[in-house]
Structure 1
């Protein structure tokens, strides 16, 4: 399989090059030259396969012979070694729990798969691989734990000072070894801009072997399709066939993976993008004008993105046909006050403790059903464990959180960070001096 840039479909690179280059020089994003179509028999009988078997089938469709089959199976089995269960709140509404990995967030799927792909290819070279990543919260912890101790790699994580939760900060700043954290005096969009500028700096790329661990990297996007297929397998085993997915959306990589799964043949009735007040995409769907704006800090900090990078991939999937895209994608936006009410409602009605992002997805799933009644299964994604957001959840609700194994041990570790202004020259100097 070859990959092209969303800004230049004539460009063709290998999977390995797309993974390591991360961002094409023309500042587009890599996409597969052909959307692989899965065997209809596989889809029709998907409930007969394990999660790992489903993941391997999808990965093989994208990667082909670039990685031998036995090696790819080993990568998948090592990376995807935790569950993603659908738990039904009632007969028609289920929550897909994606927080059972080591960092308690959905980004473990992409980060662990990508780290092992990069580690596999890095064995073929002798230059240290420098992984740059910007995070609004969960990506940093997932990448830190995914790459921790991976030979031949060094990770530099940029995060906005004062705009991530305590647990999120502990996960990305207390590891040491090959993981470095930069505390940026700005927003997530500022962090992301610094990373993108680094990838397009010829001098810096001549000195360092740079790659990205953000969702702009195609190796992050592919594994996120796995759990959409796995969800459908779980639904089919219960006799359900029609599904609407509601996805909390910030940088739009997660829902982009869902739409990619749909294009591969996954039967999905509709997608709903649930956002906080960072509503660039909802405004676009309403007006047809894509107008990014500065991000606004909210309780759902992982969604505080004013200019979602992955939106170009979604438009590319639909060949820039906005009417076709709007036929498959709806969006709803919620304030912090509504988010708090959503968390309270989930606990009062179902005794379910949810993080702010999950609550926003729940609210949007209910709004879509009210607007579109039907017999379909409504599955909303829970993207992070509530233990990561003690400051954002009402105390009377948070008191019912059951901490996952290892969460308490985090608090005893020492924070290791370097503060950085929003200045590219300073960032570049740091990378070169600390090489």
Structure 2
């Protein structure tokens, strides 16, 4: 299969180039040139399949032209080593728990897939993986690529704007993982990474790639848990709606990819905090990037989401269809905290701030419908990763999983970096 740039469909590349380069030369994101369609009966059979068996079906449909059956099996087995259960919270409302991986966040799926696929495609080349993170991407990528021969991971993150637990997960590893603590916000980190990919001098002197969701190897595998979640709904379920906490919009774009492949999803809810550029667009405004605003759901503090252009590409640039399929909403920190408290008191279920935003989006959508829907909201991280916020909101202590406690024992190792691309470039050249 070939992969085209969202900025120019005439520019297309192989799977290897799309994965290793990460970003197209014209700054576009790569997209598969066609969406393989899975027949309804094939999707219906997933009810009797394991998570990995579903993975073989879906990844096989996407990558069989480029990878052998053995490679696809190896790739899926490496990725799906933990569950993603749906948990019923209320009538017709389910939480899709995506925090059962090694760093307790949904990005573990994409990071493990990406690291394995790169190792299959690299051909003994040495590569530097550049990552901008607002929290969970850094920890998932750092742990997914830690110790992999031929790969150095360079993580840029905004100083003071990620939780302590998130920070510990990618600043304590050392080895082939380097953390740069940037005096700025996430959008500054993302901008510097994009500039590096487009810098002719760097491109000639070193092999650079990304493991952010701009890379198809990070983005595409996230569609797997949408297939899995639908297969685990009650057999007599109504129309399906997914509410997705959204920052850089890769997660919801992966769900839309699953829908384009035939998964029967009626509606998506793009739920954000007050960084509401896309909800504004979905409501009829032009897409207008803005400076990000710091909130308690920090992984969604993104003012210029890269994957917006994938949303358009998935529906062939048709804004009307996109706005019909995806509903946007946003919530303040106060509303988020109230939802966390209300759900804990009424059901005993503890949500992290991001999941709470998605829960609110789902509740509001269901309240506006006369037909029967079954809704799934994504719990993208374990509440313990946002312990300070969750404990202060709920007034209860959270028992941290042993994996998080181990990270907390590590010593933070970072390199301060000014919010200046020239300084970042100098660092990359100096340490090459």
Range class of TM-score, shorter chain: over 0.9
- Secondary structure of the 1:287 match is coil
Cα distance in 2 for partners of 1:373, 1:140 equals 41
Alignment of 1:36-435 (within 5 A): 36-122=36-122, 124-125=123-124, 127-235=125-233, 238-240=235-237, 242-395=239-392, 397=394, 399-435=396-432
CA apart distance, 1:235: 1.0
- Give per-residue Cα distances to partners, 1:134-191, cap 9 Å, x unaligned: 0001000000110011111110000000000000000010001111100000000000
Q: CA RMSD in A?
A: 1.2
* Higher mean C-alpha displacement, 157-166 vs 405-414: 405-414
Q: Distance in 2 between matches of 1:200 and 1:96?
A: 37
SS in 1 for 2:112: helix
User: What SS does structure 1 have at the residue aligned with 2:354?
Assistant: helix
User: Deviations for 1:98-150, whole angstroms, at most 9, x for unmatched residues?
Assistant: 0000011000010010001011212x23x311000000010000001100111
In structure 2, do the counterparts of structure 1 residues 380 and 194 end up closer, same or farther at CA, with 3 Å as the change threshold?
A: same
Q: Distance in 2 between matches of 1:319 and 1:66?
A: 24
- What is the Cα deviation at residue 294 of structure 1? 0.2
Deviation at 1:398, TM superposition (A): 6.2
Partners of 1:117 and 1:241 lie apart in 2 by 36
Task: Give distance in 1, aligned partners of 2:109 and 2:74.
Answer: 15
Contact 2:252 2:270 in 1 (8 A): yes
Q: 1:398 to 1:417 in 2, by over 3 A?
A: farther
Residue deviations 1:192-226 (CA, integer Å, cap 9, x gap): 00000000001101111100000000111110000
The alpha carbon displacement at 1:241 in A equals 5.0
8 Å contact kept, 1:114–1:219: yes
Cα separation, 2, equivalents of 1:398 and 1:198:
44
The answer for unaligned runs of 5 or more in structure 2 is: none
8 Å Cα contact 2:134-2:161 kept in structure 1: yes
Deviation at 1:27, TM superposition (A): 0.7
Unpaired segments ≥5 residues, structure 1: none
Aligned mates of 1:268, 1:169 — CA distance in 2? 35
- The count of aligned residue pairs is 432
CA distance in 1, matches of 2:79, 2:286: 39
CA contact (8 A) 1:184 1:419 kept: yes
Aligned equivalents of 1:62, 1:155: Cα separation in 2: 27
1:155 alignment partner, SS class? strand
TM-score by length of 2: 0.98
Which deviates more, 55-64 or 322-331?
A: 55-64
Q: Taking structure 1 as the reference length, what is the TM-score of the superposition? A: 0.97
